[in-house]
Amino acid sequence: MGTPRLDLGTLKVNGVYPRLERHVWTVRKGARWLDIAHDGRRYRYTSTGNHRSAELVRDGVRVAIGRGRHHADTGSTRAGKAEGPVDSTDLAIALVLDVVNTELLTLGGTLLSAPRRFLFETGAE
């Protein structure tokens, strides 16, 4: 089955499908993101650099997840940081998106996905 992909997926939070708006088809740095509207909240999920680092932001809240320390027994880990009045919904969305293939939020991913989008027309926005 493979890893869930940002361009092919839906998200379900507390039994509700939030509105997802993808801003991914540009090459300008910092101009690619995923907007999520759920339960009166507006989130923005963006890539923040190398090693699949990303952050989920809403008014007064920021959840950042990136590469953690390497452990000989378990291999690489993920590390996170939460700022502001974070609740379980914020953490759940950030953690789910951390395991989704979000290459579309990076320049390299956008450039590599363009031919696939042209050939297979995934319906992504």
Q: For residue 69, what is the domain's CATH number?
A: 3.40.1420
pLDDT of residue 125: 45
Give domain status of residue 13, yes or no. Answer: no
**What tens digit of pLDDT does each residue of 66-120 get?**
888 877 887 778 889 999 999 999 999 999 988 887 777 776 666 666 666 666 6
* Structural domain of 96: 19-119
- Pairing mode of beta strands 33-38, 75-83: unpaired
Give domain status of residue 94, yes or no. Answer: yes
Q: What is the pTM of this model?
A: 0.76
Mean pLDDT of 5-14: 76
Give domain status of residue 6, yes or no. Answer: no
pLDDT of residue 13: 86
Number of domains comprising the chain: 1
Give domain status of residue 125, yes or no. Answer: no
Give domain status of residue 44, yes or no. Answer: yes
DSSP 3-state assignment of 68? strand
Return phi, psi of residue 96, to 5°: -65, -45
Alpha carbon separation from 23 to 5, 18, 59, 65 (Å, rounded)? 15, 16, 19, 20
Alpha carbon separation from 121 to 2, 88, 114, 117 (Å, rounded)? 19, 35, 10, 5
Q: What is the mean pLDDT of the chain?
A: 80
